[in-house]
Amino acid sequence: MQSLHDRRSLWLWAGMVLILCYFLYFAGDGLKAGFFPDVMMNISGAWERPMPRLLLDLIWPDESAYRPMGALAYRGLYQAFGLAPVPYRIASFILLIGNLMLAGWLTRLLSGSRWAALWAMALFSYQAYLSDLYYSSATLYDLLCGSFGIAFLALYAHWRGSGSRMRLWQGLVLVVLLLGAIGAKELGLLLPLCLVLFEIFFFGVWPRPNWKTLAPLGLCLVAGLCSALARFAVMTKFGQNPAYQVGLSSTKILANLQHYGGMLFYVHRDLTPRELLYLAIGALALAAFARSRSAVLCLILFFFLLAPVLVIDPRSLYVIYLPFVFLCAFLAIVLHRVTCLRCFPESVMGPVLLLALLSGMAPLHAYRKPFGNAWIHNDEVQVDTILDRFQRSCPTLPHAARVYINSDAIPEDDYLLTFTLRLLYHDREIEVIRRKQLHHCPSDEEWAGYTRAFDFEGWNLKELRSRLDACKESAGATSTPAH
């Protein structure tokens, strides 16, 4: 019996290693990615904010707070490694792999099957349109929210399902994880309500709850409510951003479902309303056929956590990273219920279905990867070019320098140059003055106040020695640097 158990464990570990290799095969080139414009903005915002205020933002943010847990990560990485992109990518991949393991553990707790956990990991391991997560360090917010959020739900399910009463320290650990998820991304505010759904659909405590058992749930609900009140009491940067304004209209919700559904199912176009209807019917039919409370819970959690992104302007698929965990868990649990419990033993179907999932999805991933990565070059090369040109032409700048840029190819309302130069020279006081924003040639008095002056036309940096040289040049047009 012991040898049989060891053999099964060996198969499970081999499956886990295979999934990690599969993930690195498709996404591993993201370790070599550089910086993107949003990364410069995120690092700059974190670095310029005082550390005590960042820590306080985790509990009680003010109007200028923005995702303090992510800001702490960016600040730590910048202070330790500067603008070397590799450490940021390594940190992102540690989170990606950690979240993959956590997703497997959560599925194991919900399904009671290690093979179902591996199937969920196989589905969750790679999705071509989640490329922002694999290549851009700007998505640390999403990865951290995923880490804290999945760990929060998995630990609650583990401790709650053990049959013993949860202790105070366990409740406090859950509160810390909850605050971490909320501090990483606003989606974390929904996590306490996810616990209520766990209790209703997985543990089945209603309509006769055991209040002593549910004390940690109450603690998490209070912590989540206080965090929500703290954020709604002030208009934070998040609330001021027009891109996050809520639009409660059926038209917007349907359009977003079509948008995300097309990427999620590799259609490379928006789904039609009829296709959405067929998918909804199919999901409900699978849940009914599986006859599993866990499957129903995962399906509900997928749509519950998806809801916030359906009422704001559409984005790339990475915004459904956390909901995607539960879609993969739902499919894995249904597979387990349909195959292993009704047709074949798990020891047979486990490795067979794992290999079938990985080999069946591989051609689709390979085909869709170029489509998912289409945005990368144009964004990545901008920051690389700015860093390269200024490091070569202007190795140092005096403190609080005023840098005049006569012509550049960056949009007028974009502060990429300011963020990048402050970080490059490690100086919060650097001021970048762009002719594109001045809307006129600088006067003699203005010119005398500049420390250095450059023309950045066509992404080629050239120092300007006189005001006359500056006034001869045009303000430049928006473009992407050649690479």
Name the residue among 114, 121, 35, 32 with its Cα closest to residue 74.
35
Residue 183 contacts residue 46 (beta carbons within 8 Å): no
List all residues 6 or more positions away from 8 whose beta carbon is below 8 Å from its beta carbon.
Answer: 347
Looking at the DSSP bridge assignments, the partners of residue 453 are: 404
Looking at the DSSP bridge assignments, the partners of residue 462 are: 455
Write the single-letter amino acid at 455. D
Task: Return the SS3 of 403.
Answer: strand
39, 46, 436 from 422: Cα distances, Å:
13, 12, 19
Count other Cβ atoms within 10 Å, centred on residue 242. 7
Residue 103 contacts residue 111 (beta carbons within 8 Å): no
Looking at the DSSP bridge assignments, the partners of residue 404 are: 433, 453
The full DSSP string for 62-100 is -TT---HHHHHHHHHHHHHHTT-HHHHHHHHHHHHHHHH
Q: What is the pLDDT of residue 1?
A: 46
Residue 302 contacts residue 323 (beta carbons within 8 Å): yes
Task: Return the SS3 of 270.
Answer: coil
CA of residue 333 relative to chain centroid, distance: 25
CA distance 95 to 90: 9
**CA dihedral defined by 151, 156, 157, 161, rounded to 10 degrees?**
150
**CA dihedral defined by 372, 377, 378, 379, rounded to 10 degrees?**
80
Name the residue among 58, 355, 268, 329 with its Cα closest to residue 183.
58
428, two tokens? 């919060």
CA distance 483 to 480: 9
Provide the residue-wise pLDDT of the chain in tens; the chain has 483 residues.
445 455 667 878 889 999 999 999 999 999 999 999 999 999 999 999 999 999 999 888 888 889 999 999 999 999 999 999 999 999 999 999 999 999 999 999 999 889 999 999 999 999 999 999 999 999 999 999 999 999 999 999 999 888 777 888 888 999 999 999 999 999 999 999 999 999 888 887 655 666 666 788 888 999 899 888 887 776 655 555 666 667 678 889 999 999 999 999 999 899 999 999 999 999 999 998 888 899 999 999 999 999 999 998 888 999 999 999 999 999 999 998 888 655 667 777 888 899 999 999 999 999 999 999 988 888 888 999 999 999 998 899 999 999 999 888 888 888 999 999 999 999 999 999 998 888 888 888 888 899 999 998 888 899 888 888 778 755 454 555 644
Longest Cα–Cα distance of the chain, Å, equals 89
Residue 389 contacts residue 483 (beta carbons within 8 Å): no
